[in-house]
Structure 1
């Protein structure tokens, strides 16, 4: 996972210094998890099963028809693109990208997957919001914010799929790295 450099401040107390590479690896940790999450689901359920599920029925209304399965594939593809972009950026900056872990996801039905997806994506949104103020490089910040907005759209999609309002609040919470990693750790079986 992510390691943070401990330093001493002027008063001799330990402080944590988080570099852009640390923050990129933090984001990469989450993107690995999200990519594996959607890949696991798509390998577990057929398109036919997904399209006949309760969450997919919301899009059976005239004017809203499209494949829920294909949209989940699209979200997975976005997460894989995020993994590739973050990995390349970390390498370009001279860092070592974190590797994907082994994951276990606690859903047994398509309905449970849809509910958990909204939560997984919301954690990603709050992670980027929490990390953004610590990013030093304008280029890294720009890339992080572009991923953040896509994660927010993923959250809205899954909230709608669960028949919840896609944007319940005027502001999203920002979480610390520690808070996000604690949430993510429940899905990580081994590193």
Structure 2
């Protein structure tokens, strides 16, 4: 059955480590920032959920495929929105600048979720289930910034990966408008983590290379479901039945 979504209701207001590495952030960067050092930090596993093999977005553009891509995008936006909402609610940041970043981006991601759900209507995919222990670990003061960078770099790679698979002009406009905002988020957080300082390693720069590498649906889902915090897998369940 084809996916049904109402584009008229959409109102645009304006593998995680692997995906991040493809965007110019290498493993040494994460180690320097403390992203995968220590028991309470975030790490990336090499395993995904069994159902991911059944989820497949076609590389042949069609209206039906556009619906699947929107469901996939909504799933990723759910994850980002939950992360920032939890961090803002906890209100324990290393710097005022990181707090401001979290507050602003939390509103953006919540808006993305709201509008994608409106576009998809009753067919909208359900949010992924998250482990509370893992959430608490990745929003801890030392882990929040590096985790935010991971998620934003992943979002940029994910939208870039699906752009060529889109057919309808309205959906392309939606994806492009979100993609550019996610890229701004990524540049912002990398700057706050020191990437904009004179003498910073090139891999840490807000814009470390001339071209970003796109990532496939399978690569992104494997990475996201491999996210870990506090020794627990972050995403415990994800619904891939609609994409």
Q: Which contiguous aligned blocks of 4+ residues in structure 1 show a shift greater than 3 angstroms?
A: 1-6
Shift of 1:169: 1.2
Greater RCO structure (CA 8 Å; 6+ sep): 2
Q: 1:33 to 1:157 in 2, by over 3 A?
A: same
Which aligned pairs between 1:11-22 and structure 2 lie closer than 5 A?
19-22=65-68
Shift of 1:166: 1.3
Q: 1:5 to 1:135 in 2, by over 3 A?
A: closer
Query: Take 1:166 and 1:140, find their aligned partners in 2: how far apart are those partners?
Result: 27
1:179 is the counterpart of 2:219 = yes
Shift of 1:108: 6.1
- Root-mean-square deviation (CA), in Å? 2.5
Instruction: Say if 2:56 and 2:217, in contact at 8 Å, map to a contact too.
Output: no
**Pick aligned residue for 2:153 from 122, 146, 156:** 122
Larger of the two Rg values belongs to structure: 1
Aligned match of 2:106: 76
Which aligned pairs between 1:157-168 and structure 2 lie closer than 5 A?
157-164=188-195, 165-168=205-208
Q: State the secondary structure of the residue aligned to 1:189.
A: strand
Alignment coverage as a number of residue pairs: 164
Q: State the secondary structure of the residue aligned to 1:100.
A: coil
After superposition, the C-alpha distances for 1:83-130 in whole angstroms (9 at most, x for unaligned) are 111111222xxx711111222434263121101110110000000000
Q: Structure 2: which 5+ residue stretches go unaligned?
A: 1-50, 196-204, 227-233, 239-243
Query: Take 2:139 and 2:126, find their aligned partners in 1: how far apart are those partners?
Result: 26
1:27 is the counterpart of 2:49 = no
Q: State the secondary structure of the residue aligned to 2:194.
A: coil
**TM-score, normalisation: structure 1:** 0.77
1:188 is the counterpart of 2:235 = yes
1:41 is the counterpart of 2:125 = no
Query: Take 2:236 and 2:192, find their aligned partners in 1: how far apart are those partners?
Result: 28
Aligned match of 1:101: 128
